[in-house]
Chains A and B, each alone.
Chain A
Amino acid sequence: MSVVTCQNVSKQFGSNSVLKDLNVTIQENSITGLIGRNGAGKTTLLQMLAGMLAPTSGNIRVFEENPIDNLKVSANTIFVDDDLVFSPEMKLYEILSSAEMFYDNWDSEFANRLIRYFGFQTGVFHDNLSKGKASTFNAILGLAARTPLTIFDEPTTGMDYSVRQDFYRALLKDYMNHPRTIIISSHLLNELESILEDIMIIKDGTCIVHEPMEDFKTYAIALSGDYEKIEKVVNESRIIHRRFISSNHAYVVVKELSGSEQDCLKQLGVTQTSVEPAELSMYLTNETKGGIDDVFKQS
C-alpha cells in the first residue's frame, strides 16, 4: 500500500516556484531519505505531506486522503524538525505527557529511556535547551510517537557527531521492532546511507532520483582517463560530474554504461570504478557539473 502519493504537485511562494510538477509515491513500511541542497524544496514537500501547506496545483494523498486540515492524517503523522515551536509555558515532562495523550502508539517507557540516556532534566523549559539538545528532544518525540508516518526534516541539525550516530541507530532499531513509514530529509547522504531503504533526490523542485538504495549504488560509474577518449564514447548529456586532474586527464561520473560501452572504454585505457553513494548524491545535487572549480575557470 502506498502511504504517500504526489501527482503533478507544484508549489509557488509568490513568484518563487519551489516545487515543479513533482510525482512521488512512497510505500508503506520503508525508510526513505530525502536528499537535496538548501532550497531544493525538501521542507516544502514534507510540510505539504504533513498537511501544513497546500500545494499550488496537483494532488497529494496521504493514507489515501487529502492531508490538509485532516484529523486522521494528523493523528497518524508526526512532523519533526529542529524548529518545533512548543508553548514557552510547558516543561519537558508536560510536553511528553501531552504527546502521550495525543498519540495512541506513544511508548512512554521508550521515551523515558531515551530521555535518561541523552541526559535530559525534564523540569526545564524547551526554550532553555541548547540547539543540539532541542533537536535531540524533538527527535525523541518523533521516535516515541510511533506514528504510521513519521517525518524528520533535517532532524540532526546542531547535534554532535556521537548523538547523530546514536539517533540513527535508535531510529533503525526502533524501525525494525515497529515497522512504519519514515521519511528523513538531509542535505547529506553520508551518515544516513546505512539506514535507508530508498533514496529520493530532489533538485530545483523536481525529483531526479527515487529508487532503492541497492540500485542507487550502481546508478553511476566513475571514469578516469583521457577526456577526449571518454567524450567519444559517452554523450555529454549523460555526464553527472566532471573534474580535470590535468589538462586532458579527467575524472568523469556518468550514468550507467552498457556492456559494449564498458568494453570500448576499457580498450581505450579508461579506468572504471564504482562511485560511493554519498559522493554521487553530492554530484547529482550540484548546480554545475564541475563543482566549485568552475568558478575559478578562466574562459
Chain B
Amino acid sequence: MSLNSPSLKSTVIKQSKYKWMSYKSAFQSLIVVQIISILFTLLGAASGTSSFGLLQLHITYSTGDVILFFTFIWAFFTGLSIDRKENRLADQIFVTNQVSRHLANIVFLILINLVGMVTLVMAGFAIKLIIFWYKGPDQFLLLSSYSTSELLLVLGMVFLYLTLLSSIGYAIGSIVRLSKVVKVVVITTGVALVFLGDERVGQIISFYGSESSIVWFIGKVLVSSFLAFGLAYAIARQSEVRS
C-alpha cells in the first residue's frame, strides 16, 4: 500500500474545515451572547427628561458598548477553550500534528472573529431598528450616520480587537493547561488584578485603546497576537500529546 505524504497546508485547510463541524458551539455561543447583549442594551438604555416651559424633551440614549463588551469577552473565552483537552483528542483521531493543529486553531479563530465582527456591527443596526419600531416614526429619532469608509474602519477595528483578545485567551489557555496549580494561580491573579482595578490593567488597556495612529494600532495588535499565539505554541509543545 503506497504511503500518503500530505502537505502542511492541505492538512491545515482540512482541519480548519473540520473545526467548523466539531466546534459549532463557538458560533452558537456568539449568537446567544449577542442576542443577550441586544436585550441588555434595550433594557438598560439611559434616558433623561428636561422641561423648557411648555416644552418637554425626553431623550433616550443607546450605545453599542454592551454588545462590544460581550463580544470581546466571547472572543477571549473562545480563544481560551479552543485547544482544551477534549478538542485536542477529537483532533487526534484524524490526521494532525502539533503545528497543523495550532495553525488550524488560529485560522478558525480568525474566521470566527470575522463572523463575530459582521454580526457585532449588524447587532448595532438591529438595536436601532428595534428602537425605531418600538418608538414609532412619530417620535424624533436621532441616529448617528456612517459613511462607508467609517463603517469599514469600525469593522477593521472590531476585528483587530477580537483577534487580540482571542490570541490572549489562547495563550492563557495554554498556560492554565500546564497544571492544576498553575490554573488556580493564574485565575486567582487575573481576577484579583481586574477587581482591584490594578493600574497595570489600565495601562495595558490604554496601550491599545489610546493609540491614535491607526498604523501603530494595527502594528501593536498584530505583533501582540503573533507573540501570544507563538507563546501558546511554545508552551503546548512541552507537554506530551495524550498525557
- Report A's interface with B, CB cutoff 8 A: 29, 47, 51-54, 63, 68-72, 74-76, 84-90, 94, 97-99, 101-105, 141, 146, 148, 178-180
Q: Are B1 and A85 in contact (CB under 8 A)?
A: no
Q: Which residue of B lies closest to A80 (CB)?
A: B93
> B182: CB under 8 A from chain A?
no
Q: Which residue of A lies closest to B28 (CB)?
A: A89
Interface 9-residue window, one of B94-102, B169-177, B205-213: B94-102
User: Using Cβ atoms and an 8 Å threshold, which residues of chain A touch B90?
Assistant: 85-87, 90
Bound together, the chains give a CA A59 to CA B241 distance in angstroms of 18
User: Using Cβ atoms and an 8 Å threshold, which residues of chain B touch A141?
Assistant: 93
Q: Are A76 and B4 in contact (CB under 8 A)?
A: yes
Q: Are A74 and B87 in contact (CB under 8 A)?
A: no
Q: Are B97 and A71 in contact (CB under 8 A)?
A: yes
> B243: CB under 8 A from chain A?
yes
User: Using Cβ atoms and an 8 Å threshold, which residues of chain B touch A53?
Assistant: 240-243
Picked from B21, B23, B242, the residue with its CB within 8 Å of the CB of A98 is B21
Q: Are B97 and A69 in contact (CB under 8 A)?
A: yes
Q: Which residue of B lies closest to A126 (CB)?
A: B90
User: Using Cβ atoms and an 8 Å threshold, which residues of chain B touch A84?
Assistant: 89, 93
Bound together, the chains give a CA A225 to CA B6 distance in angstroms of 62
- Report B's interface with A, CB cutoff 8 A: 1-6, 8, 11, 14, 17-18, 21-25, 86-87, 89-90, 92-100, 240-243
Q: Are A89 and B93 in contact (CB under 8 A)?
A: no
Q: Are B22 and A87 in contact (CB under 8 A)?
A: yes
Q: Could you list 4 further interchain pairs (A-B, Cβ under 8 angstroms) beyond the known A75-B5, A87-B22? A: A53-B243, A71-B6, A85-B89, A88-B86
- Min Cβ gap B108→A in Å is 13
- Min Cβ gap A8→B in Å is 20
User: Using Cβ atoms and an 8 Å threshold, which residues of chain B touch A47?
Assistant: 242
User: Using Cβ atoms and an 8 Å threshold, which residues of chain B touch A68?
Assistant: 241
User: Using Cβ atoms and an 8 Å threshold, which residues of chain B touch A86?
Assistant: 90, 93
Residues A102 and B86 in contact in the complex (CB < 8 Å), given A47-B242, A87-B23, A89-B21: no
- Min Cβ gap A52→B in Å is 4
User: Using Cβ atoms and an 8 Å threshold, which residues of chain A touch B89?
Assistant: 84-85
Bound together, the chains give a CA A156 to CA B6 distance in angstroms of 31
Bound together, the chains give a CA A149 to CA B117 distance in angstroms of 44
- Min Cβ gap A23→B in Å is 23
Residues A75 and B17 in contact in the complex (CB < 8 Å), given A85-B90, A86-B93: no
Bound together, the chains give a CA A70 to CA B98 distance in angstroms of 9
Interface of A is mostly: loop
Q: Which residue of A lies closest to B8 (CB)?
A: A71
User: Using Cβ atoms and an 8 Å threshold, which residues of chain A touch B93?
Assistant: 84-86, 141
Q: Which residue of A lies closest to B11 (CB)?
A: A71
Q: Most B CB atoms within 10 A — which of A63, A68, A102, A180?
A: A102
Q: Are A89 and B14 in contact (CB under 8 A)?
A: no
- Min Cβ gap A3→B in Å is 10
Q: Are A74 and B3 in contact (CB under 8 A)?
A: no
- Counting from the closest, the 5 A-B pairs by CB-CB distance are A87-B22, A85-B89, A102-B94, A52-B242, A87-B90
- Min Cβ gap A14→B in Å is 11
Residues A103 and B95 in contact in the complex (CB < 8 Å), given A71-B6, A89-B21, A90-B22: yes
User: Using Cβ atoms and an 8 Å threshold, which residues of chain B touch A29?
Assistant: 1
Picked from B23, B94, B97, B240, the residue with its CB within 8 Å of the CB of A89 is B23
Q: Are B22 and A148 in contact (CB under 8 A)?
A: no
- Min Cβ gap A280→B in Å is 32
Q: Are B14 and A101 in contact (CB under 8 A)?
A: yes
- Min Cβ gap A125→B in Å is 12
Q: Are B95 and A74 in contact (CB under 8 A)?
A: yes
Bound together, the chains give a CA A211 to CA B92 distance in angstroms of 32
Q: Which residue of B lies closest to A73 (CB)?
A: B97
Picked from A52, A75, A88, A97, the residue with its CB within 8 Å of the CB of B4 is A75
Q: Are A54 and B22 in contact (CB under 8 A)?
A: no
Q: Are B4 and A101 in contact (CB under 8 A)?
A: no
User: Using Cβ atoms and an 8 Å threshold, which residues of chain B touch A146?
Assistant: 1
- Min Cβ gap A71→B in Å is 5
Bound together, the chains give a CA A105 to CA B3 distance in angstroms of 10
Picked from B1, B24, B240, B241, the residue with its CB within 8 Å of the CB of A105 is B1
Q: Are B243 and A70 in contact (CB under 8 A)?
A: no
Bound together, the chains give a CA A76 to CA B97 distance in angstroms of 13
Q: Which residue of A lies closest to B242 (CB)?
A: A52
Between-chain CB contacts (< 8 Å), 9 pairs:
A52-B242, A54-B240, A69-B97, A71-B6, A72-B5, A75-B11, A98-B21, A101-B18, A104-B6
